[in-house]
Amino acid sequence: MTSDVPEPPSQQTEAESLHLGIMGRLRAYFFAGILVTAPVSITFYLAWQFIRFMDDQVSPLIPPAFNPKNWGIPGFGLVLVVVSLTLIGALTAGFAGRLLVRVYDAVMDRMPVLRGIYSAVKQIFETMLAQKANAFREVALIEYPRKGIWTLAFITGTTSGDVRARFDEEMVNVFVPTTPNPTSGFLLFLPRSEVQVLDMNVEDGIKMVVSTGIITPPEKAVGPAQAKPELT
């Protein structure tokens, strides 16, 4: 006659620890696999969706006999759009092109509702693409929404016009993005003396905002002559 003899407590503890250790390691490997594959997969997926979107927009404009989409060639729409925009830019660089743009601007300027939208969109693209201002060139820290609380912000330029005329000191335009969506936020006008400019580049600043502070760029070495003032 045999009887079940329970394992000593020490052996049960070792078995449980080994099991938990294996499960913890497998869990860590699983999350590491997600961390490696997710950014690449999402990037290629979004790129592929964008290519398909451009193909769907351009394909109806091309006769079926000459439509590369029917030949199984993806991405032709994107290539055609890039080539077309480049040719348009080259044509508008000449005298006739500049004259045509002036006429187009004059027509749009006489549209009661559309002129405001057209002017705003044009100024944004001129600022971002033609680099007429130092838009999103500097990352800074500002005290917002109250003293003692610091938030990440982007300097978009030097304040001018009627807003600048109401202050005695130099003012800067500061964009405070929301987290994790940096496309929305708040426009603030602050004295330059109240803005702490960082050595961080814009790309790292956007990554930090999108990741809600999880991704933090490494601190750069600062020499004695480049020592930053303490934040007060």
CATH topology of domain 138-219: SH3 type barrels. (2.30.30)
Torsion of CA 129, 134, 136, 140, to 10 degrees: 180
Residue 13: CB atoms within 10 A of its CB come to 11
Where are the extended beta strands (E) located within 22-149? 138-143
pLDDT in tens, 146-190: 899 999 999 988 898 899 999 999 999 999 998 887 778 899 999
Integer Cα distance of 149 and 139 in angstroms: 17
pLDDT of residue 46: 81
Integer Cα distance of 136 and 171 in angstroms: 16
pLDDT of residue 194: 93
pLDDT tens per residue across all 232 residues of the chain = 455 555 555 555 666 666 667 777 777 777 777 777 777 778 778 888 888 887 777 777 777 766 666 666 667 777 777 787 788 777 777 777 788 888 878 888 888 877 777 777 776 666 556 554 456 778 999 999 989 999 999 998 889 889 999 999 999 999 999 888 777 889 999 999 999 999 988 888 888 888 888 888 877 655 444 444 444 4
pLDDT of residue 225: 44
Q: Hey, where are the domains in the chain?
A: 138-219
Strand order in the sheet with 150-158: 185-191, 171-177, 150-158, 138-143, 196-197
Exposure letters 204-222 (e unless 16+ CB within 10 A, then b): bbbbbbeeeeeeeeeeeee
Integer Cα distance of 128 and 16 in angstroms: 59
